[in-house]
Structure 1
Amino acid sequence: MAGWVLCMAMMLATLAGVVGETRYEKFLRQHVDYPRTSVVMAHRYCETMLARRQVTAPGRPCKPSNTFVHETEGELVAACSQMPDTAGVHSTRKTMSITACRLRGRDNRTPCVYRARQLQHHVRVNCINGLPVHLAGTHEPPQ
């Protein structure tokens, strides 16, 4: 019984920390991994990072996709100073190293299994008060 209480207390404390974060802090937690984290099993990068960053968790549906950007916070903040498109989305000037994680199959129940792709893309973000708060997508550089 004491183990269950301790487990619940730790889970609630963890969730309290996530709940108190700003939208910018949430953006950083979910999307910025600079420098790219080395994981023991490279083919499990997405599963490892999404669990570590509390994007996925047992009992919650798997997120269909998530992108990790392997550049500094400053590079992404700089995108907010770029002229937005007609939808109000800002794009980075340069391409960035990213890992695009896509859920394998249609089952969104845990355990979540992802396919990882390493790409060089421009990153599109929504900004509030000069800070990125939502990753709106990525796009390839023009050929």
Structure 2
Amino acid sequence: MAMRGPHPLLLLPLVQLVACLALASGQPCITQNRLFIRHHVNNPRTPAPNPRAYCSMMMRRRGIYGKLINTFIHASIPSINNVCFGGGTPFPSGLRWSNLSFAITTCIYNSSTRSYTGTYLSSRILIRCCQGRPVYYEERILLPPRV
């Protein structure tokens, strides 16, 4: 006798297959890229009276206040994405070193004062890419040059 009516259990393997294909299709890269943008991209730079005020304001706005070090890149998303292609050079550990300098602001948290110091810089950036999109910013504490 033939089955009649809806049979949701027969659809379960199909739903699981679609879910697996969605995950394998780069969904994690898109999610990580969105997080990268939220944590590291601010273009144009939001006006603030000084770097310290900028860092305090931006870290609160982005929901990452208390993070020890964070850098904001003041450039368009396409120009940052370009580092994942011809605008960047392969670097160890799967990172890419930008060929050009970017306007950035580095924010460093002082846990004893519970406040940030900020520095506006122009620097090359070091990022990790996933399917042509930045997903990780390699924070570097810049030391003063030796004399």
Same fold flag (TM > 0.5): yes
**Structure 2 counterpart of 1:80:** 84
Q: Distance in 1 between matches of 2:80 and 2:115?
A: 28
The residue number in structure 2 matching 1:130 is: 132
> Percent of pairs identical after alignment?
27
What SS does the corresponding residue of 1:37 show, helix, strand or coil? coil
Structure with higher helix content: 2
Match of 2:9 in 1: none
Quickly say closer, same or farther: Cα 1:79–1:139, change in 2 above 3 A.
farther
1:1-143 alignment, distance < 5 Å: 22-39=31-48, 41-42=49-50, 43-56=52-65, 62-81=66-85, 82-104=88-110, 106-107=111-112, 112-137=114-139
Note if contact 2:42-2:74 (Cα within 8 Å) is conserved in structure 1: yes
Partner SS state of residue 92, structure 2 = coil
**In the TM superposition, what is the alpha-carbon distance from 1:112 to its structure 2 partner?**
3.6
Which one-letter code corresponds to 2:35 in the other structure?
A: K
Q: Which AA in structure 2 matches 1:45?
A: Y
Structure showing greater radius of gyration is: 2
Contact persistence 2:103–2:121 (CA under 8 A): yes
RMSD: 2.1
Aligned residues: 110
- TM-score, structure 1 length as denominator? 0.70
Q: Supply the distance in 2 between the matched residues of 1:48 and 1:84 (Cα, whole angstroms).
A: 34
For structure 2, list consecutive stretches of 5 or more residues without a partner in the other structure. Answer: 1-29, 143-147
**Match in the other structure for 2:25:** none
Post-superposition shift, 1:138? 5.3
The amino acid that maps onto 1:102 is: I
What is the TM-score with the length of structure 2 in the denominator?
Answer: 0.68
2:67 alignment partner AA: K
